[in-house]
């Protein structure tokens, strides 16, 4: 009887061990699992739209990639990625479609020229997200006139571009996908002048001002400042990180303004005084937790003095789970910033509404 009882006890013990869940693996070192990232995340539930400070107002509940008109009376924006360009009148609060006369419009960006006309960026037709956003991404001109239709420049480019607020000077970057003479993995920064006087728009005085030989820095043009003698650009780095860069177009000297290895810093619009740039940054991950990179970002203001130390947070959208603020641009009088509400789960650039931020005096 004792033998049978002993066998029964051993059987029950073994069964319990087999059915028990294995202990959680302890993570040691710099490699952190998704589960631990979530546990460390200190973000709040809810939506940042429901907790806006008094200096921020919602203009639209759809749209992305805002851009101020030269007179600061209107904001152009995209209805969606691979869609139509729109314009919001800040006085009348009316929205007008700029490209609804183009069947199946697949544009990604709309920006103002100093003349009041528009630059459009995007493919002629949609194939798939990666190909259409990279290989087929090209430059278009749209006259600010009723019934006008976009006209190609015949130039392909990477991501967005810099447009002077004082002249017809522009800058864009290219990788191998847009230009075969750029080596695989390399990128270059090009500056040119627009000629829109004739029937066919074209680029003049094209000049490569900076080159990166590999993917340690994939370039995207951002903004001109100091009377178009200098400009900012972003270096996208391995592991989803980025640095704010600047170049003196007279001397060709390039500088790292953010000086924060291991973080994400994507420069956007430069403020009119030329001393600060708006930046998409992930510095708040230091105390909020979560994965670094373009997903967990908020809008910051960085002084372009080369120290990387004067870095001030402007929005707190990423304090909320899934929330982020992105794609900021400053008005030419320095009074306002337009930006978008976005979701951390979406690709970069996707937005769900345009907001207006009033800088405090």
User: What tokens does 76 get?
Assistant: 């152009």
CB atoms within 10 A of CB 208: 12
Q: What are phi and psi of 54, to 5 degrees?
A: -65, -20
Closest by CA position to 77, among listed 360, 352, 361, 358: 352
Tens digits of per-residue pLDDT, 99-122? 999 999 999 999 999 999 999 999
Residue 133 sits in a domain whose CATH number is: 2.120.10.30
Contact 243, 292 (CB under 8 A): no
Q: Is residue 15 part of a domain?
A: no
pLDDT at 68 over 80: yes
Q: What pLDDT shows up at residue 169?
A: 98
pLDDT band at 158 (very low <50, low <70, confident <90, very high): very high
Q: What pLDDT shows up at residue 127?
A: 95
d(CA 51, CA 56): 10
Question: Model pTM?
Answer: 0.88
Q: Is residue 215 part of a domain?
A: yes
Closest by CA position to 237, among listed 219, 211, 216: 216
Q: Is residue 28 part of a domain?
A: no
Q: Is residue 22 part of a domain?
A: no
User: What tokens does 103 get?
Assistant: 């069947």
Please list the helix, strand and coil fractions of the chain in percent, rounded to the nearest 5, in that order.
Answer: 10, 40, 45
Using the Cα atoms of residue 67, residue 70, residue 74 and residue 78 in order, give the sign of their dihedral.
Answer: negative
d(CA 162, CA 233): 9
pLDDT at 17 over 50: no
Average pLDDT over the chain reads: 90
DSSP designation for 43: P
Q: Is residue 41 part of a domain?
A: no
pLDDT at 29 over 70: no
Q: Give 56's contacts (C-beta < 8 A, 6+ positions apart).
A: 315, 355, 356, 357, 358
Tens digits of per-residue pLDDT, 226-273? 999 999 999 999 999 999 999 999 999 999 999 999 999 999 999 999
Using the Cα atoms of residue 288, residue 289, residue 295 and residue 300 in order, give the sign of their dihedral.
Answer: positive
Contact 336, 360 (CB under 8 A): no
d(CA 204, CA 228): 16
User: What tokens does 341 get?
Assistant: 């509400």
DSSP string, 305-346: SSSS--EEE---GGGBTTEEEEEEEE-TTSSEEEEEEEETTS
Helix (H) or strand (E) holding 15: helix 2-19
Domains contained in the chain, number? 1
pLDDT band at 88 (very low <50, low <70, confident <90, very high): very high
Domain that holds residue 279: 53-358
Q: Is residue 2 part of a domain?
A: no
Mean pLDDT check: name the lowest of 24-38, 44-58, 169-183, 256-270.
24-38
The length of the chain, given as a count of residues: 361
The residue whose two tokens read 């009882």 is 5
Q: Is residue 32 part of a domain?
A: no
Rama region for 73: left / alpha / beta (φ>0; ψ in -120 to 50; rest): alpha
pLDDT band at 25 (very low <50, low <70, confident <90, very high): very low
Helix (H) or strand (E) holding 248: strand 241-248
245: Cα separation from own chain's centroid: 15
Contact 98, 86 (CB under 8 A): yes
pLDDT band at 316 (very low <50, low <70, confident <90, very high): very high
pLDDT at 361 over 80: no
Q: Is residue 48 part of a domain?
A: no
Quote the longest CA-to-CA distance of the chain: 106
d(CA 112, CA 229): 20
Q: What pLDDT shows up at residue 4?
A: 38
pLDDT at 212 over 70: yes
Helix (H, G, I), strand (E, B) or coil at 49: helix
């Amino acid at each position: 009887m004792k033998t049978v009882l002993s066998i029964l006890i051993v059987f029950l013990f073994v069964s319990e061990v087999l059915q028990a869940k294995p202990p959680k693996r302890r993570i040691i070192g710099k490699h952190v699992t998704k589960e631990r990232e979530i546990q460390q995340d200190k973000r709040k539930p809810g939506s940042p739209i429901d907790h806006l400070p008094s200096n921020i107002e919602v203009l639209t509940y759809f749209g992305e990639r805002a851009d101020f008109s030269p007179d600061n009376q209107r904001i152009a924006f995209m209805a969606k990625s691979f869609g139509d360009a729109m314009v919001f009148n800040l006085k009348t609060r009316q929205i007008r479609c700029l490209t609804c006369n183009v069947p199946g419009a697949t544009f990604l960006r709309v920006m103002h020229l100093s003349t009041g006309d528009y630059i459009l960026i995007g493919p002629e037709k949609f194939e798939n997200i990666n190909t259409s956003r990279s290989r087929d991404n090209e430059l278009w001109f749209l006259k600010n006139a009723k019934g006008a239709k976009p006209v190609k420049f015949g130039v392909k480019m990477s991501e967005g571009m810099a447009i002077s607020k004082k002249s017809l000077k522009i800058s864009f970057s290219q990788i191998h996908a847009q230009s075969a003479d750029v080596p695989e993995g390399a990128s270059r920064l090009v500056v040119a002048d627009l000629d829109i006087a004739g029937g066919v728009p074209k680029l003049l005085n094209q000049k490569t001002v900076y080159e990166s030989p590999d993917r340690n820095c994939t370039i995207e043009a951002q903004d001109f400042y100091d009377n178009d003698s200098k400009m900012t650009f972003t270096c996208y780095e391995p592991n989803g990180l980025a640095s704010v860069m600047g170049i003196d177009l007279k001397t060709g000297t390039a500088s790292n303004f953010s000086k924060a290895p291991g973080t994400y810093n994507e420069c956007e619009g430069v403020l009119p005084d030329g001393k600060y740039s708006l930046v998409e940054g992930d510095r708040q991950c230091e105390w909020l937790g979560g994965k670094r990179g373009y997903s967990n970002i908020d809008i910051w203001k960085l002084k372009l003095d080369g120290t990387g130390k004067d870095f001030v947070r402007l929005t707190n959208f990423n304090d909320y789970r899934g929330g982020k603020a992105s794609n900021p641009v400053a008005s030419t009088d320095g009074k306002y910033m337009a930006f978008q509400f976005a979701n951390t789960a979406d690709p970069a650039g996707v937005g769900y509404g345009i907001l207006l931020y009033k800088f405090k005096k």
